[in-house]
Amino acid sequence: MAKDNTADLSVAAGEVRELRRAALDLGKALRSFGKSDFFDTGEDASDDAAMIVREGQRMAHALQERFGQLEKRAEKSLREHPGTWAAGLLGVIGFGLVLGLILRHRD
Buried b (16+ CB within 10 A) or exposed e, 80-107: eeeeeeeeeeeeeeeeeeeeeeeeeeee
Concatenated DSSP letters of 18-57 = HHHHHHHHHHHHHHHHHHHHHHHTHHHHHHHHHHHHHHHH
Distance (Å, whole) CA 34 – CA 10: 37
Given a cut of 50, is residue 89 above it in pLDDT?
A: yes
39 versus 66: the higher-pLDDT residue is 66
Write the pLDDT tens digit of every residue in 7-62. Answer: 666 777 777 788 888 887 877 777 776 655 556 555 666 777 788 888 888 888 88
Given a cut of 80, is residue 2 above it in pLDDT?
A: no
pLDDT at 97: 92
Q: What is the pTM of this model?
A: 0.43
* Residue in 6, 4, 20 with CA at minimum distance from that of residue 60: 20
Task: Determine the average pLDDT of the residues in 63-80.
Answer: 88
Residue 26's contacts (CB-CB under 8 Å, 6 or more residues apart) are: 45, 48, 49, 52
Task: Determine the average pLDDT of the residues in 69-76.
Answer: 88
